Structure 1
Amino acid sequence: FPGAKLAEFTPIDPHLSRPLEDMINNGTLPEDWAVYYCNTKCAVEAGHVDQAWFDEFFGMVSEEMREVRMRGAFASFEGLVYPTFNPRLHTDSDLTDSFTEGMYHYRAIDWGSGPENAFVCLWAAKDAVGTWYIYDEYYSTDQNMTYMDHADRIYNKHPWPNDSWHGPTYGDPASPGLARLFTQSGIPIVGANNQVIEGIETVRVALQLKNGDPKVVIDRDRCPNLIRELQTYVWEKSRGGKFTRNAAPKPLKRDDHSCDALRYLLHTNSGAAGKGSVTGGKIKPKNLKRFLR
């Protein structure tokens, strides 16, 4: 048609479409809104789109984008580190209401100090059959807070009695000075196993369903940042914009601090060779004054 323009409205950017997707899933769309999906598969079946073009086009579309392009589904992130994570299967509400005696409790901290480098602490419980329940998070990007402020918030968020059911708090072993500071503040820190690829594999295995049941359950009301990061955590691409096949895989270091804390929890507790306690005598003390400002 003269003057016509072809416009594409496929939701290929998850960052842009996620708010709308959340409103649809949560039933919070405005009453006068309606959502329609343009389905290319149906268009082929109705004879509006040529089958040869369809086969050629979708032969070039990545697996992650196929349902988006074909059926109008909302996009997921390409190259997801945790593609099996599903909020409908791996999240629930009010987890602590169903806790019983005999569950072991742990915490994990990923040190951070700013808008692009969040400070994160996760609280988790593990039952007798090995199911993890991530029941709370502390997440802060406030640059005005000191590490002592973070320690105080964590210390007072949940009681942590000195008994056999409340285990260690795992921390990134790259910051032994912070570990000692928190230990002196009443939060004893044990160095987490910081193996990245091996730790990611531990989490990936834990996210698989066992006899139809998840082995990791996250409180959807208390841990929104962990849930968000698990859905957006991707592998790093090469300069050409492709995922490297021959080079060692590397996760993209962006908005990943909750994922790191989850990896510390599961991998350190899996029995893999760890880094040892950062409060042990082999690590020399660091100057703590810079953390007290």
Structure 2
Amino acid sequence: MLDLDSLPLSRKQLRSIGQARARINLWHGSVRSGKTIASLLAFVIAVATAGPSGLIIICGRSLQTIERNCLDPLQDVALFGPLARHVQHTRGATTATILGRTVHLIGAADARAEGRLRGLTAQLAYVDEATLLPEGFWTQLLARLSVPGARLYATTNPDSPRHWLKTGYLDRSHELDMRAWHFKLADNPSLSRAYVDALAAEYVGLWRRRMIDGAWVVAEGAIYDMWDEGQHVVDELPQMRRYWAGTDYGTTNAFAALLLGEGVDGRLYVCSEWRHDSRRVHRQMTDAQYSAAVRNWLATWRHPDAAPDAPAGVTPEWTFIDPSAASFITQMWADGFPGIARAQNDVTDGIRSVAALLASGRLLVHRSCEGLLGEMAGYCWDPAATEKGEDKPLKVDDHSCDALRYALHSTAHEWRHLLSLAA
């Protein structure tokens, strides 16, 4: 049923599969390096030989990520051959069947997920993207692997060198019943040169070192260390194919809104900005006043090269709003403004999107956006969070940076192809 020699595996993948007999088995390294396929095969082999006692579990950030990262690949005949026919799962169900065995699927988005493990006795567990799980969940899972010979199989991309998985387990693997294998992008010989180049273009700075080089490195200093006013600030704008907007809501803090355009030259431009800083002007605004101000700003904005008799105003395809600003979103809807959407608010992934565009020369900022220009150079990682093994921006003077992140990351599927073009 499972002939490893018939599968396109590298020597490192085969070696890790054969050696995965410890209580804790961890594959870590760069994206698309082959670690997930190797770990899933090792897990399936363990399922095939497991005894009847104890549960079999797959854990991940959410049920959706488990389906995407684990079950979908296992059901891919091109990857797993005849084995794929022995993996059954109904989308949205909390169990799957692998080689006739029931496998329980558990999402662990926060510390409360630890309660889902209490009372369980498990013999096998697979953990997808281990660094994204709460430490308490991981600890509880290990405690539940109490059947003799129980094993845990896990994968992860590198994170901070102070992350609990690195300091508490990977650095102490020689003290534990644990095996770990480090994979780099070069360890996957099946990837084309064009794909590797495209992938490398999407990751810059901190993320390149982690996701491409597979290094556990610390986030420190400026977040956008590639930012250069001489290269990224412009006085003129080309004609635009389309527009989007992003807003970061604030009452006592500053409110920031940015207009983002896709130029006919294949670059993205921050065309205009509207800000209200209640601390500076000593006057707060209501949601209705903010709505009116934003709508007026967009209705009166004119492209710098527009003809004198051309009508003013621009209507973005989408306006992405800070998802925590429920009352403002409701107000904009009530005022009939089209294309309102809650912004995607994954901070680190959003920062990575902005960084990739800046590094590739595909994102430029008009000189009139003074609030954003004042924040970019000083947008830094929080050293206190770094000490805890977390990647978080310092929450100081970041309102226009947040608005930019909302607009860019929420539209990443629209502009991702631009990264592969020559700057």
Structure 1 and Structure 2 fold alike (TM over 0.5): yes
1:147 partner amino acid: D
1:176 has 2:326 as partner: yes
Query: Which residue is equivalent to 1:185?
Result: 335
1:146 aligns with 286
Matched with 1:219 is 366
1:2-51 CA distances to partner (integer Å, 9 max, x unpaired)? xxxxxxxxxxxxxxxxxxxxxxxxxxxxxxxxxxxxxxxxxxxxxxxxxx
Q: Which amino acid aligns with 2:375?
A: E
The equivalent position to 2:235 in structure 1, one of 76, 93, 118, is: 93
Per the alignment, in what secondary structure is the counterpart of residue 81 of structure 1?
coil
Deviation at 1:128, TM superposition (A): 5.2
Q: Answer with 1 or 2: which has the greater Rg.
A: 2
Question: Deviation at 1:256?
Answer: 0.4
Return the letter of the residue paired with 2:359: Q
Counterpart secondary structure, 1:121? strand
* Cα distance between partner residues in 2 of 1:256 and 1:270: 21
Deviations 1:55-97 (A, max 9, x none): xxxxxxxxxxxxxxxxxxxxxxx700101011110011142xx
Relative contact order: is structure 1 or structure 2 higher (C-alpha 8 Å, sep ≥ 6)? 1
**1:256 is aligned to 2:407:** no
CA distance 1:207–1:136, shift in 2 (3 Å): same
Equivalent position amino acid for 2:344 in 1 = N
**Partner residue in 2 for 1:233:** 379
SS at match of 2:412: coil
TM-score scaled to structure 2, two decimals? 0.40
Provide the C-alpha distance between the structure 2 equivalents of 1:111 and 1:266, rounded to a whole number of angstroms: 16
| Contact 1:110-1:120 at 8 Å conserved across structures | yes
Secondary structure at the counterpart of residue 158 of structure 1: helix
Deviation at 1:204, TM superposition (A): 0.6
Q: Which residue of 2 aligns with 1:120?
A: 256
Paired residue for 2:273?
Answer: 137
Distance 1:262 1:130 in 2: 18
Q: Give the conservation status (yes or no) of the 8 Å contact 2:382–2:393.
A: yes
Q: CA deviation at 1:130?
A: 4.3
Which runs of 5 or more residues in structure 2 are unaligned?
Answer: 1-219, 301-310, 415-423
Amino acid at match of 1:261: A
Structure 1: gaps (5+ residues): 1-77, 273-293
Cα contact 2:291–2:328 (8 A) shared by 1: no
Q: Secondary structure at the match of 1:190?
A: strand
Distance in 2 (alpha carbons) for counterparts of 1:249 and 1:184: 37
Give the deviation of 1:148 after TM superposition.
1.6
CA 1:137–1:176: 2 relative to 1, 3 Å: same
* 3-state DSSP of counterpart to 2:365: strand
Tell me which amino acid in the other structure corresponds to 2:289. D
Deviation at 1:268, TM superposition (A): 0.6
- The amino acid across from 2:270 in the alignment is I
Q: Which has the higher strand share?
A: 2
Q: Retained in 2: the 8 A contact 1:132–1:217?
A: yes
Matched letter for residue 295 of structure 2: Y
Map of 1:57 onto structure 2? none
Identity %: 30
Give the one of 343, 346, 353 matched to 1:195: 346
* TM-score normalised by L of structure 1: 0.56
C-alpha distance in structure 2 between counterparts of 1:265 and 1:144, whole Å: 24
Pairing 1:80–2:222 present: yes
Contact between 2:244 and 2:261, CA under 8 Å: does it hold in 1? yes
Question: Are 1:105 and 2:251 matched, yes or no?
Answer: no
Q: Distance in 2 between matches of 1:258 and 1:238?
A: 23
Question: Distance between the aligned counterparts of 2:389 and 2:284, measured in 1?
Answer: 40
C-alpha RMSD of matched pairs (Å): 2.5
CA–CA distance in structure 1, aligned partners of residues 374 and 322 of structure 2: 21
What's the CA shift for 1:216?
A: 0.7
